[in-house]
Amino acid sequence: MKYNLKRHKLLGALSRLFSKRKINGGKYANDIGMTYEEIDTFLNVKTDERDLIISELFKSKEISAFKLDGKGNGCIISDTLGISSFVNKKYLKENNHIFIRYSKIASGFGLLIIALLAFNFSVLEPNNLKLDKKQKTEELKQDSIQ
């Protein structure tokens, strides 16, 4: 779930860089994109986590890779898919859907436990009360006989 939030955060940063390019007239990838090291610092993640986060973005073609001489590799946002995913809050909605699914599962288990407890009290307790009454009546009979 946290990866979806980080994907949304990264798309937001890349879309802001992309919109600044239109204002400032940036022409190069480093003007509108982020290197992998910048992404690691921005998201506060390690390389393996970053790869998990951006792999989904690459797969859905929301970002594209670039290579800068001397500065390293990085990525830029797709001006169609990437920006629309950020504006439509695609990954925030996915995160909410996951939360709702887990909540439904947890509430199902909660209801099951409540039903078992209710069954326990409704069926087993009256049987114990009946046994107690029988024992008391038998004791009274024995007392009256003596």
- Residues facing 35 on adjacent strands: 74
The tally of domains found in the chain comes to 1
Specify if 125 maps to a domain: no
Specify if 66 maps to a domain: yes
Q: Which domain range does residue 32 map to?
A: 2-88
Specify if 113 maps to a domain: no
- Residue 28 pLDDT grade (very low, low, confident, very high; cuts 50, 70, 90): low
Specify if 83 maps to a domain: yes
Pairing state between β 33-35 and 63-68: unpaired
Alpha carbons 28 and 66: distance in angstroms, whole number: 10
pLDDT at 23: 57
pLDDT at 9: 92
Specify if 28 maps to a domain: yes
Specify if 61 maps to a domain: yes
pLDDT at 115: 87
Question: What percent of the chain stands above pLDDT 90?
Answer: 32
Among 92, 61, 66, 90, which residue's Cα sits nearest to residue 78? 61
Rg (CA), the chain: 31
Residue 30: is its pLDDT beyond 60? no
Q: Name the residue with higher pLDDT: 42 or 124.
A: 42
- Residue 76 pLDDT grade (very low, low, confident, very high; cuts 50, 70, 90): confident
Q: Which sign does the torsion angle of CA 23, 43, 2, 55 carry?
A: positive
Specify if 135 maps to a domain: no
Among 32, 61, 36, which residue's Cα sits nearest to residue 46? 36
- Residue 106 pLDDT grade (very low, low, confident, very high; cuts 50, 70, 90): very high
Phi-psi region of 70 (alpha: psi -120 to 50; beta: other; left: phi over 0): left
- Residue 2 pLDDT grade (very low, low, confident, very high; cuts 50, 70, 90): confident
CATH number of residue 34's parent domain: 1.10.10.10
- Residues facing 64 on adjacent strands: 76
pLDDT at 17: 86
115, two tokens: 């039903």
Specify if 75 maps to a domain: yes
Q: Is 22 helix (H, G, I), strand (E, B) or coil?
A: helix
Name 54's Cβ contacts closer than 8 Å, sequence gap at least 6: 7, 10, 39, 63, 75
